[in-house]
Amino acid sequence: MKKLLILICLFPFLVNAQETNKFKTSLKKNLKFATFYGAINGGNSLADDNTYYLNNDGTIGYGVLSTPFDYSLTFGVRKLARLGYENRANVFYDGTEKSFADASTIGRVKGLEFLFEADYKRQQGRKFVDHQHFLRYVAKNWIVKMEYVQDGFADIKYYESSQRYRYNINSKLSFNVGIAQRFSEPYGFNPLETQSYPYTNIALDQGYNYNFDHDQWLNSSGEIVAENSEVWRAIVLPQILDEYVKNEKSLLPNQWNHSLINAGEITMSWKEIFKDDNKYNEKSIIGFCAFLIMVVVMMADIITGWTGKDLVINEAIYNSFVMVVLGCFGIAGLEKFAKHRK
């Protein structure tokens, strides 16, 4: 997926790169205003944990479980313009800041915007790598967006893309409709749900055996893996279950999710909506958004009914949308009628 994103990012360069001069011009244009950045962060991790245990000779032992400090090394390149209503958060930027433009469907400028970032981290004693790669191309009548996210601490990674048709009302208001896809591992599957606690049967099926005479646990080769049942339950069995869950999940295919999407974007400041001298009728905008939601719900009800499934719709919520549509369009119509009378 990462290689695919890199190729797509280089596609505008390669299309126009029949000649060396054209390639340089295209590269300079797409990297203009891009920011290459790096950051180092560190901090305390978990507090030390004092442990006590009983030795074989009857004496009490003492130990300390310490967790090393957390750190992160961040490297990346980004070209994402802040939206017009966003304030600049810092005087000095290190590239790790977040803004509304990072998650929005459209940006402040047209054309290609991107973000490629890798984070090498240690958190609570665990080392892992996070990735966030983002591509967005906004044209006059269409939008393409692709994203790859990997969260090493939570062990989550997925690829997501969307393609939309864009209808522009004016320079600051537009509506779009399209499809979205998400590709990921089969999350939400727990193989232990079908097993009985304390899951010892899983270890027995893998060849582990219990020596009743000496209270010892042995693997399939006859080697001792736990000197007593406490060590078995606290250390060995969790490792076996963790490996079992990983193996069971690896047998499942990756998941493709598809969905229909429709949305509207307002790129002006919210302060302008409450002004009397702006160019937009806020009541018509809100009424139209509520009407679109009603249309989507109606289409979903028709499709689910055609497939033999019932879509539960709360009558009070649906009626509230009806009132919003009637109220917004009714007031907006009266205002226009009053203006014509004047």
Say yes or no: 147 and 123 in one domain.
yes
Say yes or no: 269 and 124 in one domain.
yes
Provide the pLDDT for residue 91: 52
Tens-place pLDDT, residues 66-77: 778 888 898 888
pLDDT at 271 > cutoff 60: no
Say yes or no: 260 and 116 in one domain.
yes
DSSP string across 291-335: HHHHHHHHHHHHHHHHTT------HHHHHHHHHHHHHHHHHHHHH
* Residues 108 and 101: beta-carbon distance below 8 Å: yes
Say yes or no: 267 and 133 in one domain.
yes
Range of the domain at 223: 191-250
Say yes or no: 205 and 325 in one domain.
no
Say yes or no: 132 and 84 in one domain.
yes
Say yes or no: 155 and 231 in one domain.
no
Say yes or no: 42 and 107 in one domain.
yes
Query: Average pLDDT, whole number, for the chain?
Result: 77
Say yes or no: 21 and 46 in one domain.
no
Cα 78 from chain centre: 18
Q: Give CA–CA dist 10/31, Å, rounded.
A: 11
Segment 45-62 shows an average pLDDT of 72
Tens-place pLDDT, residues 168-188: 777 667 778 888 888 888 877
Say yes or no: 99 and 246 in one domain.
no
Higher pLDDT, 273 or 74: 74
Provide the pLDDT for residue 139: 86
Say yes or no: 110 and 46 in one domain.
yes
Say yes or no: 209 and 338 in one domain.
no
Provide the pLDDT for residue 16: 47
pLDDT range class, residue 336, cuts 50, 70, 90: low
Number of domains in the chain: 4
Q: How many percent of the chain have pLDDT more than 70? A: 74
pLDDT at 86 > cutoff 70: no
